[in-house]
Structure 1
Amino acid sequence: MPIVSYAQLANATLDYVIVGGGTAGLALAARLTENRDIQVLVVEAGADHGEVPEIDTPGNIGRTIGNPTFDWKFVSVPQKHAHDRVVIQPRGKGLGGSSFMNYLIMLRPSKEELDALEQDFGNEGWNWESLLHYMKKGETLQPSGLSEAQALEYAVQPNPDMHGKDGPLKVSFPCVLNDMHRRFFDAAGRLGVPRNPGAANGTNDGAVTSLLSLDSLTGRRSYAVDAYLAPALPRPNLLVLTHAQVTRVLFETDGPVPRATGVEFVQGGQVRRVEGVRRDVVLTAGTLQTPHLLELSGIGSRELLTQHGIETLVDLPGVGENMQDHVGIATVVEVETEDDTMDALRDDPAVLEKHTRLYQEEHSGLLATVPVPAFVFPSADFLGNRSDIDAWKEQAKAQCTDSLARAVPALRAGLDKQYEVLRKLLSDEHQVHAEFIQFNGHQPNPNSLPEPGKRYSTIICLLTHPFSRGSVHAASGDPLAAPAIDPNYFAHPADLELAVHMVEGALALFGTAPLRETVRAPKMPPAAALARGRDGLRDFVRDNCRPVYHPVGTAAMMPREQGGVVDARLRVYGTSGLRVADLSVMPLELSCHTQSVAYAIGEKAADMLKAEWS
């Protein structure tokens, strides 16, 4: 059925209401409605954006960020460990959610990280084998078209058995593989990080050319709308309501625990309701909005809810806590290269005309791909020596948990468990603890502007397993107000030291042949910061850190006594008929770009609910 109006819901009998038409939500809705007897409504706060170049054209990545048509435009609270900066926290607004505004990267976590969900956090059925099945189920791998020599040079040799063949999401390799990309990999190899041509197999350390959520046959982004929603829309048992911002979940409270029966939302300035849901309300609003909705619905810390005049239905202090994100810092150099870069695309009309023609006629060129094809994933021993690693492991112990967990016993217990897992990962020489992303040009940065006519290369440094923990909470009782988002960057002292080591690692890559031969002049960090040594780099990191848009953890799938919010069946503790199925359930940050896991959560949740159907 097409997208519906509120009036068309008047006689609808609903089994499930899915709150949030984003990455996981649309995957869940599409798979659930494969069963014609299951009636599903998706409620989305944003619009159906349709076909627009800001979304569809891969080379336009970043243009939706900060645009209120597409972006919620959230910002953090001032970050006291990062010079009190307020930092943007972009999230996709509209059908497709952040799957329409991400950088298309399709990487996977390590086997050990996903196995920890079951082995360490007690979530039966959540492990590498299970989530690999769903990551494969959701994708179709398209051939690269590279020669054997090119495939070897650019580490593009995927094992077909590790990938899907008939899933809805199209995944392909970049169509532009240039000289700077090859030099980046060669420099990493000389520093002890070899190419990894099969990074999707659960071992993700090494130099990697990423798969992209991109249909190479059309040159367009492949995302939750065209992959999952569009084929499912003709089904009469799928209803989609847009421009409807859910403000709370509705409950019956006459049983042993509150039972979710519907949602309240604002559409066109009017408060409206959908009630009588026969099965479940499923929150798929994401790491920044799912905990906010839980709190607005009376589920969260009694102390916090009371402050905002919200009646507490379930005292669940883990809601909104445990926020983690990959913190990133960009390093930039001016380069001499014959490669076309994003700088040339911006500065030279002839280059833009050439690549526009290539895109329109051949689905090739810079507009048909993304400027971040090359990744280096090192283990901890790339960042520091044995004494450094031992110090980081020592810091991942209980003496740091009180302040980070607000001294709430359940939160402290959960953080201790997470730190136990982090210590194991630090001890494994094949686990990834940083990421270096090569951006083909000067990545946009408010603290550094490119000079017209010059060409640049950026290495974005990304901390994959932050020790710090932040939070997302209601800022008031106003359901339409944005949540208070506190990533709490560098609250744990180890994160700042790791970030400084990462910047030094990026500078080492720029300083190693054959990448070194292209470098004309450094740009970021500035010379003044470099002259002050590590003290200068610490200030540089505080001034320039930003999210890499992979937040997790705010409705963690852990035991309730450890600060968890949902169980292994994704049911919210202390309720019935209410579940969460998005990245907020991941208790620990992952060493990958997270959209692959978001889709897998939606796929797995659908099978869970189908198995319960009778």
Structure 2
Amino acid sequence: MHLQLGIVLAGGIGVVALAHPHLGAATVVSRQTDATYDYIVIGGGTAGLTIADRLTEDPNTSVLVLEYGPLSNSTSITTVSGGVGGMTDPSLQFSITSVPQTNLRNRTSPVSIAKVVGGGSAINAMMTIRGTAEDYDRWASFFPAGKSSWTWKGLLPYFKRAVNFVAPDAGVARAANITYDQSFWGNTSGVYASWPTFQYPATTVLMDAFRGMEGVQFPGDSGAGRTGVFWYPQFADPKTVTRSYARTGHYDGKNRANYQLLPGSKVTRILFEGTRAVGVAYQAVPAGRNVPAGNGTVQEIIVRAKKEVILSAGAIHSPQILQLSGIGPKKALDAANITTLVELPGVGQNFQDHNVLSAAFSFRNLTLHPSTEDLFNNITFLTWAATLWSANKTGPYSLATGNAAAWLPFPVISPRHAELASLLTAQNHTASLPDDVHPTVAAGYAAQMSSLASAMQNNNTAFYNLVMSGGTSSGMLIDLHPLSRGTVTLDLRDPAGREPRVDYRVLSNPLDRLVMAEILRYTRRYHFDNPLTKNWGAVEYTPGSDVNTDEEFAAYLVDAVSPSYYHPVGTCAMMPRELGGVVDEELRVYGTAGLRVVDASVIPTIPGANTCQTVYAIGEKAADLIRSG
């Protein structure tokens, strides 16, 4: 169902919030333009809905959430099996393509950004994973020593508040050897981290095979902040066995008069009095259509914020909205004919995502049944699975994309870790950035590279990810800490009317090629030089036995790397202003008042994990910061 909101009426703006099956009684609100709220949240995604829910727990606090996308009941969102139905539904995503990637034969890449209430949590793979403790301690390291609360210790209470952990079925846990530690989890959130009622036997076998690899740890819980091989839960409601996401946890059923959500709202700019944010201009988006920002044929609607505007539009659109509002690199704003309100060179810089390496390995002699392949080609197993699901929502269809993975540090995967760390330390870091990079952005990048060089020499940061999902083949390897940095900038052909220019700048740091080569070499060793897999008949289809040297791997990567694992972060980084930061430790935008950014864009260095749980924790912590003033 779509809500048509912001209808232009004679004498003003009428807004009707229609009833929804999850909401109870309908709420009807009539108002004129210049309606005023305590807080306006731009973006009804993972962080935005978290903040709105927490702030409106106080009945005297009013919040308006403006979300571009619809309030959708699509089964591509709710269906658990497969876990990624939303990613294949174009109606739930913006249509954005990256600029040609110079180091990938000028290939472009789709930029998968959710366009729906619930944001990325509505369309992601439902993998409930945190980074390591060092990932979050790294954020604090960019600020004066001992002063920052953005550490593992400081964030753990918010990780626990963000999700409601439900233990796996005891029989399934015994059979699959699933371990967990509830001390790392909470039980008060409306967002659930639960487990399927079935696991493929190959998952356990492939996990245990890592015991044949030197140095690999097996933490007892995925939330412990450690590297290694472990099980992790999925974002699913254990009662309904449907996706649990920001909408179901932080909007459905709240039914608060002080909590207003306007889907179909395209924010065009933030309004200021001096440098204080006082409101937002937006346009109504007719159901099923796209309305470009600043489209002169569509009337702007003005709403006011008494206390704060909170920008939660994500790593692609938050920097765009800041730039359209006059906050960003002055040179870029001048080129777009936008008057600079606050010069912040870091807006739209520091863009990061996990890189995906395509490879194909298989164990021919590992014939464990059932496997994921049986769900597609074994009619007996398929019928059994469908019967279980129809009867009580149990069995293989309760499993999303997999619940086990290896998250390994660089010294474990590479005997060259010290050599590559030294190369990174000695590198001219500015040479890996755009030619016109601002000195503060370059200084921030150098600080990040120094931290990652140290991480390459210890076992506390994961650089390698292999997901095990119940089959005997693997074809997707994840580089968890790419060294290259991209940009998100206004499209000068029509800054207000077009989507921003997204440039991953993949492989712009040449050392990324060497790191990825080591990731591929380690995967070979796991398959071929592992005493626990030696009789399984390993086969490598790609890159193939003729690819061995650094140069040969580099040539292979040109066609085998995807810039995105759908985890864009970093474009409004939480770092000191002198390091190219956009927000401070209170998430306030430098040089402004009454304006914060709260979403994945504030992440200064990407954690070695899927980002959804981290963004929930950021939203929970931000709510406390906002309430405390």
- Considering the TM-score relative to the shorter chain, is it more than 0.5? yes
> Greater shift after overlay, 358-367 or 180-189?
358-367
Instruction: Write the letter of the residue equivalent to 2:574.
Output: M
Instruction: Write the letter of the residue equivalent to 1:418.
Output: Q
Q: Displacement of 1:15 after TM fit? A: 0.9
1:93-104 map, 5 Å: 93-104=115-126
Q: Displacement of 1:568 after TM fit? A: 1.0
Q: Displacement of 1:82 after TM fit? A: 1.9
Q: Deviations over 1:331-383 (max 9, x none)?
A: 32354534344444344555444323322323223321123322111111222
Q: Does the aligned pair in 1 maintain the 2:200–2:371 contact within 8 Å?
A: no
> Greater shift after overlay, 588-597 or 333-342?
333-342
Corresponding residue of 1:446: none
Q: Measure, in 1, the Cα distance between the counterparts of 2:50 and 2:340.
A: 32
**Counterpart of 2:491 in 1: which secondary structure?**
coil
Alignment pair present for 1:558 and 2:572: no
Corresponding residue of 1:523: 541
Q: Does the aligned pair in 1 maintain the 2:411–2:458 contact within 8 Å?
A: no
Alignment pair present for 1:507 and 2:521: no
Cα 1:302/1:359, change in 2 over 3 Å: same
Corresponding residue of 2:283: 265
Instruction: Write the letter of the residue equivalent to 2:624.
Output: D
Corresponding residue of 2:20: none
Corresponding residue of 1:287: 315
Cα 1:92/1:354, change in 2 over 3 Å: farther
Q: Displacement of 1:258 after TM fit? A: 4.5
**Counterpart of 1:211 in 2: which secondary structure?**
coil
**Counterpart of 1:490 in 2: which secondary structure?**
coil
> Greater shift after overlay, 496-505 or 476-485?
476-485
Computed over aligned residues only, the root mean square deviation of the Cα atoms, in angstroms, reads 2.4
Q: Displacement of 1:411 after TM fit? A: 0.7
2:508 to 491, 494, 507: 491
Q: Measure, in 1, the Cα distance between the counterparts of 2:312 and 2:95.
A: 19
Cα 1:558/1:242, change in 2 over 3 Å: same
1:31 to 36, 49, 54: 54
1:387-406 map, 5 Å: 387-397=416-426, 399-404=428-433, 406=436
Alignment pair present for 1:5 and 2:5: yes
Cα 1:421/1:534, change in 2 over 3 Å: closer
Instruction: Write the letter of the residue equivalent to 1:229.
Output: Y
Q: Displacement of 1:517 after TM fit? A: 4.4
Q: Deviations over 1:430-468 (max 9, x none)?
A: 322211112445xxxxxxxxxxxxxx5225211111111
Instruction: Write the letter of the residue equivalent to 1:581.
Output: V
Corresponding residue of 1:252: 273
Corresponding residue of 2:486: 470
Q: Displacement of 1:95 after TM fit? A: 0.3
Cα 1:374/1:588, change in 2 over 3 Å: same
Alignment pair present for 1:43 and 2:66: yes
> Greater shift after overlay, 468-477 or 62-71?
62-71
Cα 1:179/1:566, change in 2 over 3 Å: same
Cα 1:81/1:569, change in 2 over 3 Å: same
Instruction: Write the letter of the residue equivalent to 1:47.
Output: P
Instruction: Write the letter of the residue equivalent to 1:281.
Output: V
Instruction: Write the letter of the residue equivalent to 1:586.
Output: I
Corresponding residue of 1:422: 452
Q: Measure, in 2, the Cα distance between the counterparts of 1:75 and 1:519.
A: 40
Instruction: Write the letter of the residue equivalent to 2:5.
Output: S
Alignment pair present for 1:187 and 2:209: yes
Cα 1:39/1:501, change in 2 over 3 Å: same
Q: Displacement of 1:119 after TM fit? A: 3.4
Instruction: Write the letter of the residue equivalent to 1:390.
Output: E
Q: Deviations over 1:277-312 (max 9, x none)?
A: 111111111111111111111111111122222222
| TM-score of the aligned structures, taking structure 1 as reference length | 0.90
Q: Does the aligned pair in 1 maintain the 2:308–2:594 contact within 8 Å?
A: yes
Cα 1:4/1:32, change in 2 over 3 Å: farther
Q: Deviations over 1:12-47 (max 9, x none)?
A: 431111111100111111111001111100101010
Cα 1:71/1:606, change in 2 over 3 Å: same
Q: Does the aligned pair in 2 maintain the 1:104–1:213 contact within 8 Å?
A: yes
Alignment pair present for 1:132 and 2:156: yes
Q: Measure, in 1, the Cα distance between the counterparts of 2:460 and 2:262.
A: 45
Q: Measure, in 2, the Cα distance between the counterparts of 1:103 and 1:307.
A: 39
**Counterpart of 2:356 in 1: which secondary structure?**
strand
1:64-103 map, 5 Å: 64-103=86-125
2:260 to 211, 218, 239: 239
Q: Measure, in 1, the Cα distance between the counterparts of 2:257 and 2:561.
A: 47
Q: Does the aligned pair in 2 maintain the 1:435–1:463 contact within 8 Å?
A: yes
Corresponding residue of 2:37: 14
Corresponding residue of 2:170: 146
Corresponding residue of 1:301: 329
**Counterpart of 1:436 in 2: which secondary structure?**
strand
Cα 1:430/1:125, change in 2 over 3 Å: closer
Q: Deviations over 1:559-581 (max 9, x none)?
A: 11110001111111122221100
Q: Displacement of 1:514 after TM fit? A: 4.2
Q: Does the aligned pair in 1 maintain the 2:514–2:550 contact within 8 Å?
A: no
Q: Measure, in 2, the Cα distance between the counterparts of 1:133 and 1:428.
A: 26
Corresponding residue of 1:539: 555
Alignment pair present for 1:432 and 2:462: yes
Corresponding residue of 1:481: 498
| TM-score of the aligned structures, taking structure 2 as reference length | 0.88
Q: Deviations over 1:506-531 (max 9, x none)?
A: 22223335445445643333x4x745
Corresponding residue of 2:608: 591
Corresponding residue of 1:226: 248
Q: Measure, in 1, the Cα distance between the counterparts of 2:349 and 2:57.
A: 35
Q: Measure, in 2, the Cα distance between the counterparts of 1:206 and 1:360.
A: 36
Corresponding residue of 1:458: 474
Instruction: Write the letter of the residue equivalent to 2:277.
Output: R
**Counterpart of 2:401 in 1: which secondary structure?**
coil
Q: Does the aligned pair in 1 maintain the 2:312–2:318 contact within 8 Å?
A: yes
Corresponding residue of 1:448: none
Q: Displacement of 1:428 after TM fit? A: 1.9
Q: Does the aligned pair in 1 maintain the 2:414–2:522 contact within 8 Å?
A: no
Instruction: Write the letter of the residue equivalent to 1:560.
Output: R
Q: Does the aligned pair in 1 maintain the 2:484–2:509 contact within 8 Å?
A: yes
Q: Measure, in 1, the Cα distance between the counterparts of 2:172 and 2:498.
A: 54
Corresponding residue of 2:386: 356
Q: Displacement of 1:148 after TM fit? A: 9.6
Cα 1:371/1:339, change in 2 over 3 Å: farther
Q: Does the aligned pair in 2 maintain the 1:57–1:367 contact within 8 Å?
A: no
Q: Measure, in 2, the Cα distance between the counterparts of 1:169 and 1:507.
A: 38
Cα 1:531/1:314, change in 2 over 3 Å: closer
> Greater shift after overlay, 406-415 or 194-203?
194-203
Instruction: Write the letter of the residue equivalent to 2:64.
Output: L
**Counterpart of 2:180 in 1: which secondary structure?**
coil
Unaligned runs of 5+ in 2: 7-13, 16-29, 292-297
Corresponding residue of 2:295: none
Q: Measure, in 2, the Cα distance between the counterparts of 1:427 and 1:531.
A: 26
Instruction: Write the letter of the residue equivalent to 2:604.
Output: P
Instruction: Write the letter of the residue equivalent to 2:217.
Output: P
Cα 1:47/1:604, change in 2 over 3 Å: same
